[in-house]
Structure 1
Amino acid sequence: MSLLLAASLVFKALAILLLARIAWTDFTTQKIANRAVLLLLCLGLGALQFQALQTHSWLEMGISAFGGVALFLALFPFWLLRKIGAGDVKLMSVTPFLIGGGNLAVFSVFLLVFAVATAALVKNPFLLPAGVFRHYVQHMDRKGVVPFGVPISAAAICAIALQMYHAVVVATSSGVLEQLN
């Protein structure tokens, strides 16, 4: 495994830990800190930089930048209408840098699954096992607050983990084949 791939995997692992922290913070306080989103952006840009140096192509970074700007412009009016939080808009705008432009479709499928699951749990809190947890979700339903950072983070974590798994499998299988020849 090359040093660039290892550094990229470390950045992605740190991003997964930060996304888990963002999901928990958004779930408990309904706030996403700007410094956390900025750190995610830096981690994503770093991982994309390592990938670009390894593949000698900057296309992935360009697609990610286009995706981030497009998501920000698409979601900004919803923030103005108070339908989505500013932290959610910023987090969604950063995710293409974490995931890469080529994996946005995978992220979208994961996001759809987690958003539907979140909506189902908010509308049907009796599906949850713990009474306190059920009470908390009912409180969110009454206030009309849904921490959308949780499904965004969960979808990003799954997409990044899948990407990391694929990178490790390709790196180890190519090394095995080179040793056999």
Structure 2
Amino acid sequence: MSLLLAASLLLRVLAILLLGRIAWTDFTTQKIANRDVLLLICLGLGSLQLTAVVAGTWWDMGMSALAGLLLFVVLFPFWALRKLGAGDVKLMAVMPFLIGGSGLAVFSVLLLVLALATAMVMKFPFMLPEGVFRVYIQHLDRKGVVPFGVPIAIAAICTIAFDVILGAKAFVNPF
């Protein structure tokens, strides 16, 4: 059974790498590719399935599916009103599959903090140090675009990394 947990941890590490790529791409181009979102959901479902087999219960997978559907339904009107991008909505709908039901509270708190920090940076770019980053943020502000995929990805990376570290400790020392 420990081999299944190791495979689940490997899928989560791969998801962290993909989330880093998504954050960078969203920051530079304001686009989140559908292939990246599909790959994330595959990694998340694989990890959840392996964990469910080890745990002997499918409760976490069911809760993740329900949370993903709820997020998509709630955020879809914001896309229709042009307040969020379609990639951001799809990325948020995939997050419960990556994080699992047990990490949703930690993810929500981290996302709230990071979203507020992103809003502050976008609203007051003059508070940033002089340089290319500040000019780029001012450019995004003039376009009226906020790369919301960046705080989503960073919050997910932190949550998954925390879970991987705890999982790796339990994998190495199960007692």
Shorter-chain TM range is over 0.9
Structure 2 distance, partners of 1:134, 1:51, is 43
Q: How many residues align?
A: 175
Partner of 1:93: 93
Partner of 1:170: 170
Partner of 2:68: 68
Residues 35-94 of structure 1: CA distance to partner in whole angstroms, max 9, x if unpaired?
000000000000001101110110000000000000000000000000000000000000
Structure 1 distance, partners of 2:128, 2:54, is 45
Gaps in structure 1 of 5+ consecutive residues: none
Deviation at 1:143, TM superposition (A): 1.6
Moved more, 162-171 or 50-59: 162-171
Quote the sequence identity (%). 66
Deviation at 1:130, TM superposition (A): 4.8
Q: Which amino acid aligns with 1:26?
A: D
Secondary structure of 1:129's match?
coil
- 1:1-181 to structure 2, matched below 5 A, reads 2-174=2-174, 177=175
Larger radius of gyration: 1
Structure 2 distance, partners of 1:112, 1:80, is 22
Structure 1 distance, partners of 2:146, 2:40, is 22
Deviation at 1:120, TM superposition (A): 1.4
Moved over 4 A (4+): none
Residues 148-172 of structure 1: CA distance to partner in whole angstroms, max 9, x if unpaired?
0000000000000011111112223
